[in-house]
């Protein structure tokens, strides 16, 4: 059922809008009139509408997430860190096999009956929203492999507490989905791209996909997603010679480059190709006359540097050489409904069975509080590099 018709909306604009994006919400949920109006209004003025205004990038001060219009019982862990950011893995499957993320020939994926369905994901996100989470990132595995992802985005967009819905993707399917995702509420996208060289991309990811990714990036740009950040995991002797080229490419295209140190997550991340980003940053600072940015972009682990005219911004994510645990504001929901408290620790809290046993919203919130109590002070990638045996694609990187 198209909710524009179901609601009998008289404004042709709203009807056109709803027709255009074919709101079908995931079955069996049907929308009532009020919900239709709300979604239409949300689409015209999404909660994260401010994301769309800045042509180059949008910066989100950390304080933006503490919106006084949403009184909350905020989630603060044992170390005084406020959790206001949830990463949701919608699948552990992927069409690529990045060498640092998933081993070739890997088959140990979660059974579909154990995947949280969209209604379950929405319920967990809504509970986090009531408890102060303002930002949600959809990730995986490759999130665009999950069928009808834009329907989930639309459902999450209807929760006014959730002010920002973003996506991490390898972009192989982004060309096809960018428009629907944007219409449903995804305003920002992070794209994994480790090289601009076709053969190098193929050797890292196991597939010849550079052209597809480029088309995906252009589609994201065309539909208005801002900022578009490129995530480049820097691997010694593999792609580290391409960093300056990548900076130039991002400058030309108006993308933000983020350089990432490989973490030992699962056997694939035990990288002998690890590169410390500190000397790389020093070199880029000199070559591109970069200054540290005072403003946070996105409130995440990256530390950003920018040139004087603002045409180039480079983020450095250095979990190994300069960990960022003291300001960690996030937890992760795995595709099977496990809450992971830290990428580099095994602290976790299983929610799926509880959800399927019919716990109440109050009990769900209590579970989330118990889970947050488990959040460790910091990762132990350096001291215990073999501790984490699950892959990043399973945790929801």
Please name which of 284, 203, 273 lies closest in space to residue 250, comparing C-alpha atoms: 284
- What H or E segment, with its residue span, contains residue 83? strand 82-83
Between the two ends of the chain, the Cα-to-Cα distance in Å is 35
Q: With CB under 6 A as the rule, give the number of residues binding ligand SAM.
A: 20
Out of 9, 17, 18, 101, name the contact with ligand SAM by CB under 6 A: 101
Q: Which is nearer to ligand SF4, 17 or 186 (CB)?
A: 186
CB 194 within 8 A of CB 201: yes
For ligand SAM, the binding residue among 99, 150, 192, 345 (CB under 6 A) is 192
Residue 97 or 323 having the CB closest to ligand SF4: 97
Member of 220, 223, 262, 302 binding ligand SAM (CB under 6 A) = 262
Q: Which of residues 179-208 bind ligand SF4 (CB under 6 A)?
A: 192
170 contributes a contact to ligand SF4 by CB under 6 A: yes
Which residue among 150, 157, 170, 348 contacts ligand SAM (CB under 6 A)?
170
Nearer to ligand SAM, 94 or 284 (CB): 94
Smallest separation, CB 232 to ligand SAM (Å): 8
Of the candidates 316, 348, 308, 352, which has an alpha carbon nearest to the alpha carbon of residue 332?
A: 348
172 contacts 367 by C-beta, under 8 angstroms = no
Tokens representing 118?
């969209």
Range 125-164, binding ligand SF4 (CB under 6 A): 140-142
231 vs 312 by CB, closer to ligand SF4: 231
CB of 64 to ligand SAM, least distance (A): 23
Provide the 3-class DSSP secondary structure of residue 86.
strand
Among 260, 367, 372, 374, binds ligand SAM (CB under 6 A): 260
- Partners of residue 256 on adjacent β-strands: 229
x/- map, 83-102, ligand SF4, by CB under 6 A: -----------x-xxx--xx
Q: How far is CA 292 from the centre of its chain?
A: 24
CB-wise, 65 or 268, nearer to ligand SF4? 268
Cα separation, 12 vs 4, whole angstroms:
9
Question: Judging by DSSP bridges, how do beta strands 291-292 and 330-333 pair with one another?
Answer: unpaired
Close Cβ partners of 45 (under 8 Å, ≥ 6 residues apart): none
Contact 88, 136 (CB under 8 A): yes
Please report whether residue 166 would count as binding ligand SAM according to CB under 6 A.
Answer: no
**Gap between the Cα atoms of 164 and 35, Å rounded:** 19
Applying CB under 6 A, which residues contact ligand SAM?
94, 100-101, 139-140, 142, 168-170, 192, 231, 233, 260, 262-263, 265, 269, 392-393, 397
Applying CB under 6 A, which residues contact ligand SF4?
94, 96-98, 101-102, 140-142, 170, 192, 392-393
């Amino acid at each position: 059922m198209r909710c524009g018709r179901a609601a009998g909306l008289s404004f042709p604009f709203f009807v056109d809008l709803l027709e255009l994006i074919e709101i079908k919400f995931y079955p069996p949920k049907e929308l009532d009139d009020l919900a239709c109006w709300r979604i239409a209004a949300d689409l015209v003025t999404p909660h994260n509408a401010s994301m769309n205004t800045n042509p180059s990038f949008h910066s989100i001060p950390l304080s933006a997430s503490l919106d006084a219009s949403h009184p909350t019982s905020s989630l603060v862990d044992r170390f005084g860190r406020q959790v206001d950011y949830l990463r949701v893995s919608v699948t552990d499957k992927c069409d690529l096999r990045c060498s640092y993320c998933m081993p070739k020939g890997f088959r140990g994926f979660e059974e579909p009956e154990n995947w949280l369905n969209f209604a379950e994901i929405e319920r967990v996100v809504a509970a986090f929203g009531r408890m102060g989470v303002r930002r949600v990132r959809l990730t995986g595995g490759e999130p665009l492999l999950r069928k009808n992802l834009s329907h989930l985005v639309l459902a999450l967009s209807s929760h006014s507490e959730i002010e920002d819905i973003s996506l991490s993707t390898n972009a192989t399917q982004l060309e096809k989905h960018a428009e629907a995702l944007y219409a449903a509420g995804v305003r920002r996208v992070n794209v994994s791209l480790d090289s601009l060289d076709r053969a190098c991309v193929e050797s890292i990811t196991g597939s010849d996909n550079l052209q597809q990714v480029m088309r995906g990036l252009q589609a994201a740009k065309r539909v208005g997603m801002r900022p578009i950040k490129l995530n480049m995991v820097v691997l010694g002797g593999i792609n580290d010679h391409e960093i300056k080229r990548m900076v130039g490419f991002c400058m030309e295209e108006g993308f933000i480059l983020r350089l990432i140190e490989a973490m030992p997550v699962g056997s694939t991340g035990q990288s002998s190709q690890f590169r410390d980003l500190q000397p790389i940053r020093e070199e880029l600072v000199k070559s591109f006359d970069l200054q540290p940015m005072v403003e946070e972009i996105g409130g995440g682990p990256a530390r950003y540097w920018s040139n004087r005219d603002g045409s180039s911004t480079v983020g450095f994510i250095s979990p190994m050489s300069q960990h960022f645990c003291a300001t960690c504001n996030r937890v992760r929901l795995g595709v099977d409904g496990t809450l992971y408290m830290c990428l580099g620790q095994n602290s976790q809290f299983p929610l799926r069975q509880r959800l399927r046993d019919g716990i109440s919203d109050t009990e769900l919130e209590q579970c989330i509080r118990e889970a947050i109590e488990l959040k460790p002070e910091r990762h132990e990638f350096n001291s215990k590099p073999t501790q984490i045996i699950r892959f990043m694609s399973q945790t929801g990187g």
